[in-house]
Structure 1
Amino acid sequence: MTGDDGAVAIESADDVELKGNGQCLLFQLKHSLKTTPTAMTIRSKGLWQTLKAWIDVLPGLTLSETLFHLVTVAPITRGNILETLGTPGADRKPLVAALVQEAERVVAEREAAAQAKKPLPYADRAAGCEAFLKLTPDGRLNLMRQTRIQPGTMPIDQMEGAIAQMLTLIKPEDRASVARRLIEWWDRQVVYSLCKKRPQFISRGELQEYITELIGDIEHDRLAADFETIAHPSDYQPDGMLTRQINLVDGKSHDLTKAIREEWRARQQRSKWVNDRPNMAAIIATYDHILKEYWSDRHAEIVESCEDLEDAEKRSKGLGLLRWAHNDAPTTVRPIVPGFEAPYYVRGSYQVLAIDQEVGWHPDYATLLADKSS
């Protein structure tokens, strides 16, 4: 659909609902990862399950403004009557007659089984057959006139590569990365839609805006803050060294909570950047050096000022340094690249470095951590 008013909803009136140009298009998706999916016929359960789903929503639709699409990776055998659905304007009456005959066969065999007190056959398609027979003759024909089938479509595990090939405005070497980020964005919008955290329909304009943003990121070599709004898993357990470092300075529960959250985000971000762009490993290492230098200047001051202080005062000074890494460092240290302003990366990277004992909060952290009883 090419209209500027195009919009998509997932699990709305159908698996996929597409609106635009005054039309409503409903899509039933039948995926398979089989190398050779079983060919679809008039007896296929997927066909009858699809018909049942469409018949259920008919009362809420204007049929003349709605097109129904069955999209399947399965092929249709040449000469099969279902091929009619792939030809717009083709006579649908023979297909309707064949569907009625098949539905009546299924219903009759189930009734015979019931009378013989045998297990009922065709449980996977019976509801669709019964619903189709309950339609009026004109209702069946009109439904089929608005129905299309797309057999032999691409399996889902090939979609990312296909999307990459469609991104012709982007340099070939960047297309795979952009396609991956585009799918991640799309999946996130779908989840938000299903959870009612955003409008149900994802508009064409939103998609175009995000693609433009991705192109801009590439042109200006910007980095995306992929984890800024993502919470760490509830069962995430950070390295014990993070907790030990914070305990040395009597950090409070909110200090620990923030440290765990930001450490997870920064670690995930570092990993994603390196996977997407291997040259980022050198950039990250250089930035870690800058972070350590900023920390070192402040830590050295604390060490000198604490030479004659009691341990309680040393802990207090160290807690101040920890909170500097949380609160002030993100605006004090320059970003890893121009334009990247997400504070979680600086906060979390300091925790990553603390886990590796390349930085610490207590003036005597290196000595204390070497002592296993600390």
Structure 2
Amino acid sequence: MDVADSNTVHDASAAALGFYYQSQYALLMLVRLRTDDAAVAIERLDDVEIESNGQSLLYQLKHSIQENPPPVTLTCVALWKTLKVWIDAIPLVSLADTRFHLVAVGPVPADSPLMALCDEETDREPLLRAMLEEAQRVVAERADDRVNKVSLRHAARAKGCEAFLELEPTIRSSLLKRIFIKPDEVTVGEIPAELSRHLHLLPKEHRLGAAESLLAWWDLQVVYTLCGKRNRVVHRSEVEHTLSSIIPQLDEDNLTADFDLVNHPDDYQADSMLYRQIALVGGKPSDTSKAVREQWRAAHQRSKWIRDKPQLRSKIAKYDDKLKESWSDIHTRMVENCEMRSPDEIASMGLDILRWTHDLAPKEVEPISSSWSGHYYVRGTFQLLAIDLTVGWHAQYLTLLKE
């Protein structure tokens, strides 16, 4: 993000967005490349390192959150800092098989000699001479400052300029032939939309949702690579496999069990009405623990569906009605059979209904969608309805719990 010799202290959010940009841009490049063997690593030899068709593609990214991003010029810090990084990497790569990219959200001025790096076919000799002159000027002015015992100018660019001048002429020319600038690139906020434009096989209305889901998965993979929980390299085939699993989730009728086998926090307490409903029918600790667990899972599943797909609200409400109808058929019959029964017998009959919601209802009631396979949703939703007193287990639950 450096564009001039400056000691300006940037807001921490800019630095955070800069790294986030590296992560998301790496995925964008992997999708853009379309070569089956493509793979990417972040923060290894460079900000982003891509292997494709036997070539190493190194990317230095210069993001900016300014409304008018600063241009990339021959005197900017970003250019010379980037050159220093690449010069240091030369012993670690095969120069003949490596391409170096400076990616910037800002422009390259039309009259700048750096325009030669925006086009593979342009002669780069004039640029090489201009860069040598600039590097020599920086070194000479710093030498003058030492003689005059004043603060040295160009501190941020000095190492890059010195390293460029110290290169053997043949290596310097070879390096310059393999450098490219990608100006006016998308910003971090524009990446989801840009990524969606490359998902050509999906219906247009699903592309942005798929891109956002893919980015969420990608962010986790990047964290895992950096903390050693997985291989540092992520392959294109992994992206394709993940995308194929995301596609079925884009349709309302294709719902996945996100909380199957996920347990609630140890200190989680459900609404007190859940416990009161179970106590009325003499439920055992195992009945209560199962009810709390499934209620937590169902509540989080509903929240996720509504957050990700607000249009599912009506589907969820209709399914609640289906569950209430199934409960009503059994509860009404139970109430009719309660005449002349003792309180203990009535409670026992209610306990049977509670256990029906756990054991049989997930199999007997049609699932919320044809793809749904998680029993916890039916079990837990009955508990949510019980908390609202929409359903209950005891024959007189409304009377006994009205206060």
TM, length-normalised to structure 1 = 0.76
Q: Is the 2:108–2:115 Cα contact (8 Å) retained in structure 1?
A: yes
Q: Which residue does 2:51 correspond to in 1? A: 19
Residue identity (%): 36
Unaligned runs of 5+ in 1: none
1:44 equivalent in structure 2 = 76
Residue of structure 1 equivalent to 2:174: 142
Which residue of structure 2 lines up, in the alignment, with residue 176 of structure 1?
A: 208
Query: Is the contact made by 1:299 and 1:361 (CA closer than 8 Å) also made in structure 2?
Result: yes
SS at 1:141 equivalent: helix
Question: For the structure 1 residues 98 and 198, does the alpha-carbon distance in structure 2 shift closer, same or farther, using more than 3 Å as the test?
Answer: same
User: Equivalent residue of 1:180, what SS?
Assistant: helix
- Residue 267 in structure 1 maps to residue 298 in structure 2: no
For the residues of structure 1 that align with 2:306 and 2:102, how far apart are their CA atoms?
A: 39
* Aligned equivalents of 1:261, 1:103: Cα separation in 2: 64
**CA 1:169 to 1:116, structure 2 compared with 1: closer, same or farther past 3 Å?**
same
Deviations 1:90-142 (A, max 9, x none): 34344334334434444555566677776665454444344444433333322
Identify the match of residue 77 of structure 1 among 97, 104, 109: 109
Q: Pick which of 149-158 and 176-185 moved more.
A: 176-185
How far off its partner does 1:360 sit?
A: 5.0
> Does the C-alpha gap of structure 1 residues 266 and 45 become closer, same or farther in structure 2, counting only changes over 3 Å?
same
2:262–2:297 contact (8 Å) kept in structure 1: no
C-alpha distance in 2, partners of 1:246/1:136? 82
Is residue 223 from structure 1 mapped to residue 254 from structure 2 by the alignment?
yes
When residues 334 and 48 of structure 1 are mapped into structure 2, their CA distance, relative to the original with a 3 A threshold, is farther
Q: What is the 5 A alignment of 1:1-374?
A: 1-107=33-139, 121-215=153-247, 222-225=253-256, 227-228=258-259, 240-241=271-272, 248=279, 251=285, 255=290, 258-259=293-294, 261-275=296-310, 278=311, 280-296=312-328, 308-309=342-343, 329-359=361-391, 366=398, 370-371=402-403
Aligned residues: 365
- Rounded to whole Å, the distance in 2 between the matches of 1:124 and 1:348 is 60
Q: Counterpart of 1:180 in structure 2: which amino acid?
A: E
Q: Identify if the C-alpha distance between structure 1 residues 310 and 4 changes in structure 2 by more than 3 Å, giving closer, same or farther.
A: same
Distance 1:310 1:254 in 2: 22
| Aligned mates of 2:353, 2:227 — CA distance in 1 | 40
Residue pair 1:161, 1:176 contacting (<8 A) in 2 also: yes
Residue 71 of structure 1 deviates from its aligned partner by: 1.4
Bigger CA drift: 59-68 or 125-134? 125-134
Task: For residues 251-271 of structure 1, give each alpha carbon's deviation from its aligned partner in whole angstroms, at most 9, with x where no partner exists.
Answer: 579658735751453133231
Cα distance in 2 between the residues matched to 1:324 and 1:130: 78
Q: Distance in 2 between matches of 1:316 and 1:118?
A: 93
> Structure 1 residues 87, 226: CA separation in 2 closer, same or farther (over 3 Å shift)?
farther
Code of the aligned partner of 2:44: S
* 8 Å Cα contact 1:49-1:125 kept in structure 2: yes
Give the 3-state SS of the residue equivalent to 2:131 in structure 1: helix
Point out the more displaced range, 73-82 or 224-233.
Answer: 224-233
> Judging changes above 3 Å, is the alpha-carbon distance between structure 1 residues 112 and 5 closer, same or farther for their aligned structure 2 residues?
same
Change (3 A) 1:155 1:195: same
Q: 1:104 to 1:369 in 2, by over 3 A?
A: farther
CA gap of 1:351–1:257, structure 2 versus 1, over 3 A, is: closer
Answer whether contact 1:245 1:354 (CA < 8 A) is retained: no
> Does the 8 A contact of 1:250 with 1:315 survive in 2?
no
Q: State the alpha-carbon separation in 1 of the partners of residues 359 and 87 from structure 2.
A: 58
- RMSD of aligned alpha carbons: 4.3
Return the alpha-carbon distance in structure 2 between the equivalents of residues 103 and 55 of structure 1. 14
User: Could you tell me how far 1:41 is from its partner in structure 2?
Assistant: 0.6
Change in Cα spacing, 1:355 to 1:130, as seen in structure 2 (3 Å) is farther
8 Å CA contact retained: 1:9, 1:16: yes
User: What's the secondary structure of 1:64's corresponding residue?
Assistant: helix
* Partners of 1:265 and 1:348 within 8 A in 2: no
Is the deviation greater in 350-359 or in 64-73?
350-359
- Aligned equivalent of 2:20: none
Structure 2 residue identity aligned to 1:223: N
Name the SS for the 1:67 alignment partner: strand
Question: What displacement does 1:66 show?
Answer: 1.2
Amino acid at match of 2:96: S
**1 CA distance for matches of 2:154 and 2:334?**
78
Cα offset, 1:237, TM superposition: 7.4
Change (3 A) 1:339 1:62: same
Q: Is the 8 A contact 2:59 2:101 kept in 1?
A: yes
The question of whether the paired residues in 2 share the 8 Å contact of 1:68 and 1:148 is answered with yes
**Contact 1:246–1:361 (Cα < 8 Å) also in 2:** yes
- TM-score with structure 2 setting the length: 0.71
- Going from structure 1 to structure 2, the CA distance change for 1:206 and 1:119 (only over 3 Å counts) comes to same
Structure 2: gaps of 5 or more residues: 1-32
**In 2, Cα distance between equivalents of 1:300 and 1:129:** 86
Q: Which moved more, 1:265-274 or 1:78-87?
A: 265-274
Q: State the shift of 1:65 in Å.
A: 1.1
Aligned to 2:29: none
